[in-house]
A and B are shown apart, each in its own frame.
Chain A
């Protein structure tokens, strides 16, 4: 199964790439969760909130082509149910359009009966990413920063 999410954000490809790959920026829109990796192709990554003892996901950086394209394998770790889903793939495509960027997130290699939790967070993450880049702020909707200590 394949899921496709698309959003237009008024920003540059470079700023968008930075917001996707910088751990501190990710924490502002990704449920408070950061990422640890060196971003070299073929390297591994882990996401979570170390201080809160939360593990969210792990995988490999399959393609790293700043500021246009990022492909990662993804294994969810936040519960036994999602761990049982195995490994899927997430592709980020950044395309400049006028003074904005079209960002497409393709989450594929999902099981046909996959748990919707695996891909259900994308609209909220992308909405928060747009808010961060366009206003510098964070979303105040519940759960937006559920794992960040500042938000708890």
Chain B
């Protein structure tokens, strides 16, 4: 088993990304970083505790990090674990092929 972070495994990163609500939370932070739980909750039709559970999974996987700002807890998207997966799986020999196939798919589908 490959460990990327303190006790964080590939499995946790992939499982965290496997849920559409959690990907939407990451998208919200990608769009605007440093949001509070209340701000994130207002974008979802879900209970506060439901949002907290999803954020906990994302935090445990290292994909979301929090910082205190006064009394507020702000959430940030941490893209580093995704980069670690990328760097582990895609070598300099494979990347030109991956990029070419990705561009081909985009141009055909447009």
A: residues with CB less than 8 A from B are 1-8, 97-98, 100, 102, 104, 106, 122-124, 126-128, 130-131, 139-142
Contact = CB atoms under 8 A, between A and B. Distances in A.
A127 B84 contact: yes
Interface string B67-110: 10000000010111011101100111001100000000000000
Contacts of A3: 33, 76
Contact of A7 (B5, B76, B90): B5
Contacts of B79: 5, 123
Closest 7 CB pairs of A and B: A123-B83, A8-B5, A4-B76, A8-B6, A140-B92, A6-B65, A127-B87
A139 B87 contact: yes
B6 A2 contact: no
A141 B91 contact: yes
A130 B87 CA distance: 11
Interface in B12-32: none
Given A6-B65, A98-B6, 7 more contacts: A6-B62, A7-B80, A97-B6, A127-B83, A140-B92, A141-B86, A141-B87
A20 to B, nearest CB: 16
A49 to B, nearest CB: 19
Contacts, number: 62
A30 to B, nearest CB: 14
A8 B96 CA distance: 29
A142 to B, nearest CB: 5
B67 A4 contact: yes
A100 B83 CA distance: 19
A141 B80 contact: no
A140 B5 contact: no
B84 A102 contact: no
Interface in B44-65: 62, 65
B8 A8 contact: yes
Given A6-B80, A102-B6, A127-B80, A141 B92 contact: yes
A5 B86 contact: no
5 contacts: A1-B34, A7-B5, A127-B80, A127-B84, A131-B87
A100 B6 contact: yes
A6 B4 CA distance: 12
Contact of A6 (B33, B78, B82, B91): B78
A124 B6 contact: no
